[in-house]
Structure 1
């Protein structure tokens, strides 16, 4: 598995079977150490220690057996804490790999643990998970889990759009998401997450899905439609997004700004610049980040004016956007001679 270090090669023992015995001793010590680690993690009277959680990275099959024996014995709250912190650790350090643990936790009886497991597998692109996520989307009793499963399928929809997924798997993902979107008895939270997930597919029916979501009477569905327009990457959505940059609702303006950045159309720049003075700080920051993604000369000029802003978080956002802008204008700055 990724993240596991290869063992250093060393001379084999001259004694018959000595090398294998050494390996067995090391494996035994490793399992003993993991057993102690799991015992400490199970003790709810003690705070969780990141270094001990990190030791769960890249578990071997034998270590997973120990983990699966210890995991059900822990309380719900402790399992939730561990699952949440494993997700955070994996985000902070790409070298850590808890995939096997997250896959096992997809079947946990606690809904929060299942949601965290899905979140932890965000970068796991093996198609073997598609059927499991579809089953969770259709059958899990908890709305939060179904919604998370819908978002997880969005990753595979993107892979299908990039022709990095087998056609039959891509069709399976599309069919599952469309079925949920069309299910009027399903909770709006699940349906709107499915709209967001399917948005990366450049298909006529997807355009219709996004348009219908935008015309919905439900505010949350409309927010998801705006987000989906950005993921859909069709410049035809730009007039709608520019219009929504003036929406009185903060969340709609925020998503519209982000979607403009995803489209990368220079026409949006002057409209985004006006949001630099928005009363909502998150909308301000999103507009600044969007200019960095668009990367035009006009966007650069606007960002430079904010590099000396008196508020640190605005300056920092402008600096980050300038870095993004510089990369988008010249992704290969080193000339090949």
Structure 2
């Protein structure tokens, strides 16, 4: 360990040596924090060394956390290696630090780890690449859509969504329809929102009938984002979903689409027992710009919920 200190003449770092090499792991951990506070490049050598070699899990985890601010290739590589540490706390700290990196150079170091044999490593690598929005990760993410592990597939969907990879739309539509995992279907359904044409509407309409309400909710939201009036009839049908969360997103999307044929169904929703739904229905009716909704909105001006009354006032002001 003394060889590491031999490469620096920084007095502040050398002053920490007794504590950094102390027998007590707690002392070593606090000393690492003090070392990182110096923000001296020479201190990286010791932080990386402790991440790789300290016998105490808490010290290794602290080193992983403290390295989050450094983008050096050697640091990124050490953090990637720490994803295979036997201690879950170290793995978690390394994954978190990797997710905070911002440079393409860091992405190139992380990318090979997306094919690691360990599922948790692949998950962490894709999560870090998603935050980086690293374009070179697109081929690896596309390949990972067929990963045996659902969590890896979900992270791969996230990468492709952030990168707005239009070439991946057919594969994402397939996942949205057929993946056995609810969260993968939900993520893939949301990622279809990067489309700007009607190509994804069949998959999204199908997702509105998914057995999991979370997927149906995501589909209702995404149909509004895609922005095609052809989605309107399916969203009107979704106003009868068994889950109010799905109805709420469908209501919001109908307003976003300004789908005029939804007026009567939205007026019916003004009478729903859940106030959030009534509020969204009022706002959506205002977006339709149809004065045929004025009477129903006026009748709702005395709603018992102040947020609903506010939404009604906004809608009426839009229609006058």
Question: Do the aligned residues in 2 keep the contact of 1:80 with 1:112 (CA within 8 Å)?
Answer: no
Question: Do the aligned residues in 2 keep the contact of 1:58 with 1:97 (CA within 8 Å)?
Answer: no
Alignment CA distance shift 1:27-1:115 (3 Å): same
**Which of 60, 68, 78 does residue 90 from structure 2 map onto?**
78
Question: Do the aligned residues in 2 keep the contact of 1:122 with 1:155 (CA within 8 Å)?
Answer: yes
The alignment yields a C-alpha RMSD, in angstroms, of 5.1
1:206 CA displacement: 1.6
Alpha-carbon deviations, 1:230-288, whole Å to 9, x = none? 23122332454355345331331343255457x36396897699499726xxx569949
**Which of 176, 180, 187 does residue 187 from structure 1 map onto?**
180
Q: What TM-score, normalized by structure 2, do the two folds share?
A: 0.57
**Which of 44, 60, 77 does residue 57 from structure 2 map onto?**
44
Alignment of 1:193-272 (within 5 A): 193-216=187-210, 219=213, 221-245=215-239, 247-257=241-251, 259-260=253-254, 263=256, 265=258
Q: What TM-score, normalized by structure 1, do the two folds share?
A: 0.54
Alignment of 1:90-169 (within 5 A): 90=100, 97=102, 100=107, 103=111, 106-138=114-146, 140-156=147-163, 159=164
SS in 2 for 1:121: helix
SS in 2 for 1:208: helix
CA distance in structure 2 between the partners assigned to 1:42 and 1:71 by the alignment: 16
Question: Do the aligned residues in 2 keep the contact of 1:258 with 1:286 (CA within 8 Å)?
Answer: no
CA distance in structure 2 between the partners assigned to 1:79 and 1:253 by the alignment: 40
Alignment CA distance shift 1:69-1:256 (3 Å): same
Alignment of 1:297-308 (within 5 A): none
Corresponding residue for residue 176 of structure 1: 171
Alpha-carbon deviations, 1:281-315, whole Å to 9, x = none? xx569949x87xx7x9x9xx99xx9xxx89xxx8x
1:33 CA displacement: 4.2
Corresponding residue for residue 11 of structure 2: none
Corresponding residue for residue 31 of structure 2: none
Question: Do the aligned residues in 1 keep the contact of 2:158 with 2:191 (CA within 8 Å)?
Answer: yes
**Which of 66, 71, 75 does residue 59 from structure 1 map onto?**
71
Larger Rg: 2
Q: Which runs of 5+ in 1 are unaligned?
A: 1-25, 91-95, 161-169, 319-324, 326-337
1:133 CA displacement: 0.3
CA distance in structure 2 between the partners assigned to 1:53 and 1:272 by the alignment: 53
1:153 CA displacement: 1.8
SS in 2 for 1:106: helix
Question: Do the aligned residues in 2 keep the contact of 1:242 with 1:271 (CA within 8 Å)?
Answer: no
SS in 2 for 1:72: coil
Name whichever structure is richer in helix by fraction. Answer: 2
